[in-house]
């Protein structure tokens, strides 16, 4: 099993290209199931999760052809051969549940295994099922599979009111509603940029959608959707991660692609910590001067709040802050598993339930550490960039699910980092 070896090497300087958003692409790909015509996605990230979703779509009879080294995905579902999303593929990634709504809307039935993925809490799919039931679907859980069937004549419009915000459930409901008869209203909808990106793509395919980016989305169902070409939005989590690299190490780095509108709360916290952030013609530039950063308190929340997917990386920064910071994780349970690994590097962290208290130290020291999930893996790499000596991050297969060519991108701005094959 590969590992990443990092040696602290001082301030960083240069430019980092930001890839297309993994979480957006994983919702856009199943949209091909809604139409017989081709869907082409540009600016696609080259990640293992994208390949897993491609394999799942192919198992249903869809065509998935990567072009231009994988940055363009040519998708076609003109001849679907089945409606069963098998456990062997679905278990690898939670986003697999996003084929449920499109299959149900297009074919009238679907069997989808309950998904797997990172070990960061239960993350139940009940909101997905309730949303589709509101459109008339009949649901049954049997032997680890969701068995879903649309009523005669297909799904029908309805009112979906989520008790709390769920990005995935909003995406499933949005896709299913495009082909449902009548009007669907989604209330307490997720507002993330990935939702807006999906709605824009579906609209290009002929869907009638209004209100994306707000808490209330209205969809007027249509009989069929056409093909389209759509550019995947920039990955705001990768953007935030690379913004933190010079914040931790010092120096100045320009992140090419994306803007601060993708990360409003995150940018505010960096400013509060004393990090200089500014938009440029090409993206976002981040710099840190001499001296320690200021401690700040962080609470994760749905967009436009502080992203849960940047909590681990932010903790790495605050390990070196001057003072005491409090991080509250309000989205997922069990998402402080990186804390003990950071403590192996000399961090002072006290975790009590969903709250972590971080007392900043002047320096971290390299150590062998283990990645427990996708975002934890990159938080350890960020900490290692500022640590004295060598850090070996093990179990980095998590990293490949969400970060494209991380060693190349970091070494390009002055980091001393390499992947070591097992």
pLDDT tens across 314-332, in order?
Answer: 999 999 999 999 999 998 8
Over 70: is that where the pLDDT of 117 sits?
Answer: no
Whether residue 124 is found in the same domain as residue 189: yes
Whether residue 226 is found in the same domain as residue 273: no
Q: Among the three residues 209, 231, 253, which one is the final residue of a domain in this structure?
A: 231
* Between residues 246 and 142, the one the model is more confident about: 246
Contact 358, 319 (CB under 8 A): yes
d(CA 221, CA 106): 12
Whether residue 53 is found in the same domain as residue 116: yes
d(CA 350, CA 356): 6
Q: Among the three residues 231, 250, 278, which one is the final residue of a domain in this structure?
A: 231
Whether residue 255 is found in the same domain as residue 206: no
Work out how many domains the chain is built from and give that number. 2
Whether residue 62 is found in the same domain as residue 12: no
Query: Which is the catalytic residue, given 25, 118, 249, 255?
Result: 118
User: pLDDT, tens digit, for every residue of 172-228?
Assistant: 999 999 999 999 999 999 999 999 999 999 999 999 999 999 999 999 999 999 999
Strand partners, 5: 392, 418
Q: Coil, strand or helix: which one is 242?
A: helix
Q: Is 49 annotated as a binding residue?
A: no
Is residue 255 flagged as an active site residue?
Answer: no
Give the mean model confidence (pLDDT) for residues 286-293: 91
Regarding pTM above 0.85, the answer is: yes
Count Cβ atoms below 10 Å from residue 335 Cβ, excluding itself.
25
302: DSSP letter: S
Over 90: is that where the pLDDT of 98 sits?
Answer: yes
Contact 272, 288 (CB under 8 A): no
Give the mean model confidence (pLDDT) for residues 332-342: 89
CATH code of the domain in which 397 resides: 3.65.10.10
Over 70: is that where the pLDDT of 121 sits?
Answer: no
Q: Is 94 annotated as a binding residue?
A: yes
Whether residue 394 is found in the same domain as residue 246: yes
Whether residue 255 is found in the same domain as residue 288: yes
Please tell me the predicted confidence (pLDDT) of residue 414: 97
Provide DSSP, 71-110: TEEEEE-TT----EE-HHHHTT-GGGGGGHHHHHHHHSEE
CA neighbours within 13 Å on the CB side: how many for 189?
A: 28
Q: Among the three residues 231, 254, 281, which one is the final residue of a domain in this structure?
A: 231
Whether residue 201 is found in the same domain as residue 282: no
Q: Is 334 annotated as a binding residue?
A: no
Which of 185, 204, 192 has its CA nearest to residue 167? 192
Q: Is 331 annotated as a binding residue?
A: yes
Domain containing 111: what range? Answer: 22-231
Whether residue 7 is found in the same domain as residue 61: no
Helix, strand, coil in percent for the chain, rounding step 5: 35, 30, 35
Confidence of residue 313 (pLDDT cuts 50, 70, 90): very high
């Amino acid at each position: 099993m590969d590992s990443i070896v990092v040696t602290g090497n001082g301030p960083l300087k240069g430019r980092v290209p930001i890839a297309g958003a993994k979480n957006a692409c994983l919702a856009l790909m199943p949209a091909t199931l809604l139409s017989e015509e081709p869907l082409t996605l540009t600016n696609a990230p080259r990640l293992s999760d994208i390949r897993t979703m491609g394999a799942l779509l192919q198992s249903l009879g869809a065509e998935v052809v990567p072009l231009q080294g994988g940055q363009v995905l040519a998708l076609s579902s003109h001849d679907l051969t089945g409606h069963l999303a098998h456990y062997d593929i679905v278990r690898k990634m939670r986003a697999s549940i996003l084929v449920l709504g499109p299959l149900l809307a297009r074919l009238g039935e679907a069997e989808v295994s309950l998904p797997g993925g990172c070990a960061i809490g239960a993350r139940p799919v009940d909101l997905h099922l309730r949303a589709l039931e509101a459109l008339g679907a009949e649901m049954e859980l049997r032997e680890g599979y969701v068995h879903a069937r649309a009523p005669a004549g297909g799904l029908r419009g309805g009112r979906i009111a989520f008790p709390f915000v769920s990005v995935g459930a909003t995406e499933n409901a949005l896709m299913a509603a495009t082909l449902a008869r009548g009007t669907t209203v989604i209330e307490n909808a997720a507002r993330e940029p990935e939702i807006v990106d999906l709605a824009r793509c579906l609209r290009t395919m002929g869907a009638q959608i209004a209100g994306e980016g707000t808490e209330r989305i209205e969809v007027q169902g249509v009989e069929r959707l056409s093909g389209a070409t759509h550019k995947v939005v920039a990955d705001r989590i990768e953007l935030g991660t690379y913004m933190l690299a010079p914040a931790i190490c010092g120096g100045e780095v320009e992140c090419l692609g994306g803007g601060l509108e993708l990360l409003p709360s995150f940018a505010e916290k960096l400013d509060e910590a004393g990090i200089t952030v500014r938009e440029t013609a090409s993206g976002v530039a981040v710099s840190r001067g001499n001296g320690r950063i200021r401690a700040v308190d962080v609470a994760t929340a749905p967009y436009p709040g502080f992203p849960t997917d940047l909590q681990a990386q932010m903790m790495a920064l605050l390990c070196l802050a001057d003072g005491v910071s409090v991080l509250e994780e309000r989205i997922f349970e069990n998402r402080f598993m990186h804390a003990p690994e950071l403590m192996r590097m000399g961090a002072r962290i006290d975790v009590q339930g969903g709250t972590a208290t971080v007392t900043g130290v002047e320096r971290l020291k390299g150590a062998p550490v283990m990645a427990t999930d996708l975002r934890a893996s990159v938080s350890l790499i960020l900490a290692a960039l500022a640590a004295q000596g060598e850090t070996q991050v093990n179990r980095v297969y998590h990293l490949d699910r969400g970060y494209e060519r991380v060693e190349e991108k970091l070494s390009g701005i002055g980091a001393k980092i390499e992947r070591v094959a097992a």
